[in-house]
Structure 1
């Protein structure tokens, strides 16, 4: 049978992040939001990860990306709405000809609303943090081709001291909110 569910890539960029585990039980199968299938991507070096994530999104069956990481500057969950054109160390521009800022394409307002409805403190921010998450968000967004069929790309930050259970719940809630905006794949793209 053909799987017409669009793919949503979920990636915790920090190798030490224990809050997001796509496999919940002994089945070895990753969790999937309603109406979509999860494509888990393990952490790697930021440069390699940017390339891997962009390759996944170039596959027309993958329609979304949720980056997951921590924030050191806030007490609640945050959805980062933009990223600046900065190198990984923040000392220079990442791309000499790219735009100064890239804006997230995920349904941020709906994601924040869903997180709040799940009982989690959450908001959206235009402030980037100087870390691999912001670097990855910019790298992926700036590599997307122009067009009306742009994938949903977002970055969810959990408070630094938040429990793994709360992070797991937040990732699932945000991914489910993203999945509600994804249309089933045409049969010609389904796997």
Structure 2
């Protein structure tokens, strides 16, 4: 007899959300006592906690290798702006910024997330936002490059983006911005084929 309490499979595509700094408190995916993470319409979120950048890059790559995972939003802070910043490219640099990360990788990797839609969503939420092609010398830029340069080429490329909150932005505003960005990304995700979802 089948177990009726068994959870049915979730056929929504996944968006991984990762605040790369382990001390970052701005993004908490669980917003109530249910213990269930927040998810935008049409997608489900997978929260990946921050940590050591090399190990974290491997964890994020493993999530994106699962074809049920269709997007990644990296979340962090910036000291360079009083507005939210959507970083749209990352440079081939080592974590310390001294040398190239890899001699065979491209000099620049461009984010694949729908930047215009994310900017529009944050503006509609009343949050100031700007796009930037300028990488910052931190784990966020390093992770963005590592993830993007490791993606296989093809039509089914996942949406990958990096959203930075101003350094002193309250956690509640960071939550609003992350949700707005994830909702914009989710609108571009098609449902999983049944063969992939099972």
TM-score class, shorter-chain normalisation, is over 0.9
Shift of 1:16: 1.1
Shift of 1:44: 1.2
Give the match's secondary structure for 1:171. helix
Cα distance in 2 between the residues matched to 1:122 and 1:151: 23
Give the match's secondary structure for 2:185. helix
Runs ≥4 residues deviating over 3 A: none
Shift of 1:153: 0.1
Residues 1:168 and 2:154 are matched in the alignment: no
Cα distance in 2 between the residues matched to 1:51 and 1:97: 19
Q: Residue 79 of structure 1 corresponds to which residue in structure 2?
A: 86
Q: TM-score, normalised by structure 1?
A: 0.98
Contact 1:5–1:37, Cα closer than 8 Å, also in 2: yes
Give the match's secondary structure for 2:196. coil
Q: Residue 27 of structure 1 corresponds to which residue in structure 2?
A: 34
* Paired residues for 1:1-191 under 5 Å: 1-191=8-198
Aligned length: 191
Cα distance in 2 between the residues matched to 1:103 and 1:61: 22
Give the match's secondary structure for 1:24. coil
Cα distance in 1 between the residues matched to 2:149 and 2:133: 17
Cα distance in 1 between the residues matched to 2:65 and 2:120: 29
* Cα RMSD after superposing both structures: 0.7
Cα distance in 2 between the residues matched to 1:91 and 1:65: 27
Which protein has the larger Cα radius of gyration, Structure 1 or Structure 2? 2
Cα distance in 2 between the residues matched to 1:118 and 1:131: 27
CA offsets 1:131-168 (integer angstroms, 9 cap, x no match): 00000000000000111100000000000000000000
CA offsets 1:31-67 (integer angstroms, 9 cap, x no match): 0011000011011100000000010000000000000
Structure 1: 5+ residue stretches without partners: none
